[in-house]
Structure 1
Amino acid sequence: MTRLTGKIVIATHNLGKLHEMQKLLEPYGLECVSAGELRLEEPAETGTTFIENALIKARFAAVASGLPALADDSGLCVEALGGRPGVYTADWAERHWYEGSEGRDWYMAMGKVEGLLCAHGPDVGRAAHFACVLALAWPDGVDAVYEGRVDGKMTWPPRGRMGFGFDPVFVPRGDTRTFAELAPDEKHAISHRADAFRKLVADQFNTQA
């Protein structure tokens, strides 16, 4: 089996995701470089599942860079909304023309979810989960996939200044704070991305999950 060593491309242009992934990989002696640093294009995410989109990004970056590549596809799934926004989570935070390729309006996206929940009435269920798929790809065509999840509920108004995306309106099960109110190390210990990373690490570095 192909194993991770040396240099790896983190196939994202999202700085929040990049920092989380670098932090999680730090103990394993890998040299991480981002797709943004390498000026790689962002491939069209034409998949309809997290797995499909993660593989699209990882395979593209691996071939373009000639290095192993790690990609994440993740999103918020709200039970009362039929699992939306799901794979379209980032699309709900529409880009503004003046913000360039990095800018997304996450407050607007949070408001959109809250508005749809409120439309179901005051007794609407607020159960939700974050899902994450990590895809590893090597330039020779070998790849591997790891899935993670964290359950919780939606809250309003947004709380906290840490994290990114929908973090200010998601309260993980067993806590009263939103993801955006948790210190980075606390979030890294319980997040959907951390869950997927534990599986990746157990597989790639022969550790116990």
Structure 2
Amino acid sequence: MQLVFATNNLNKLKEVQSLIPDHIKLLSLKEIGCFEDVPETQNTIKGNAIQKAEYIKEHYGYDCFADDTGLEVEALNNEPGVFSARYAGPQRDANDNMDLLLNNLKEKPNRNAQFKTVVSLHLNGNLKTFTGICKGEITLDKKGNQGFGYDPIFMPNGYTETFAEIDLKLKNEIGHRGKAVAKLVEFLNTL
């Protein structure tokens, strides 16, 4: 089986490739000749995941899956949510995003947050979605240099290290994307 993973994020691609079984050949957008930004104009994480998968199927004809992820912070009414990548502006800079988030939380005692990933699979004319959630809290400052995005300020429940301090294998086991992709793989293994 061959599937396109509709992302231009090389960190995400690397993370997901380690989760997909060997009998499924994963193609990147680059490998199918897709160099444009795939639209993400929906107002929900699930909506964006579906939109990206449908775009690749419609414009390139490949069976594919796409994901969208958001960080939802309780004290900020679940912001940044669907706007996580562009929270501090269209430049999509992770440090700017983290700095703005830490600043917005400065006076707030509640630091509870969750990462939410929705994976949308477009396969054989059918559409399915899979959701993964990882609960945790926002740290007071950045810690660690692994991972990407908000990983240096997100500490999953039950751990004393941020996502940027733990190794990729553990992050995939306990993290939002790993949980959503595990559900996707479980479904693909039934076919």
TM-score range, shorter chain: over 0.9
Match of residue 110, structure 1, among 73, 98, 102: 98
Q: Give the paired residue count.
A: 190
TM-score, reference length from structure 1: 0.86
| Counterpart for residue 65 of structure 2 | 70
| Counterpart for residue 34 of structure 1 | 28
* Equivalent residue runs for 1:42-121 within 5 Å: 42-96=37-91, 104-118=92-106, 121=107
| Superposition deviation, residue 11 in structure 1 | 0.1
Higher helix share: 1
Match of residue 22, structure 1, among 17, 27, 31: 17
Match of residue 164, structure 2, among 180, 183, 206: 180
- Contact 2:19–2:182 (CA<8 Å) still a contact in 1? no
| Counterpart for residue 200 of structure 1 | 184
Distance in 2, matches of 1:183 and 1:130, equals: 17
- Contact 2:88–2:100 (CA<8 Å) still a contact in 1? no
| Superposition deviation, residue 112 in structure 1 | 0.3
| Counterpart for residue 121 of structure 2 | 136
Unaligned residue ranges in structure 2 (runs of 5+): none
TM-score, reference length from structure 2: 0.93
| Counterpart for residue 171 of structure 1 | 155
Please list every run of at least 4 consecutive aligned residues from structure 1 whose deviation after the TM superposition is greater than 4 angstroms.
none
- Contact 2:85–2:93 (CA<8 Å) still a contact in 1? no
Distance in 2, matches of 1:9 and 1:202, equals: 17
| Superposition deviation, residue 95 in structure 1 | 4.7
- 2:114 aligned partner, one-letter code: H
- 2:117 aligned partner, one-letter code: C
Higher strand share: 2
Distance in 2, matches of 1:93 and 1:182, equals: 26
- 2:46 aligned partner, one-letter code: I
**Secondary structure, counterpart of 2:102 in structure 1:** helix
Distance in 2, matches of 1:93 and 1:180, equals: 20
- 1:78 aligned partner, one-letter code: V
- Contact 1:57–1:71 (CA<8 Å) still a contact in 2? yes
86-95 or 124-133, larger mean C-alpha shift: 86-95
| Counterpart for residue 125 of structure 1 | 110
Please report the RMSD computed on the Cα atoms of aligned residues, expressed in angstroms: 1.6
- 1:133 aligned partner, one-letter code: V
Distance in 2, matches of 1:146 and 1:65, equals: 23
| Counterpart for residue 151 of structure 1 | 135
**Secondary structure, counterpart of 1:76 in structure 2:** strand
- Contact 1:59–1:141 (CA<8 Å) still a contact in 2? no
**Secondary structure, counterpart of 1:124 in structure 2:** coil
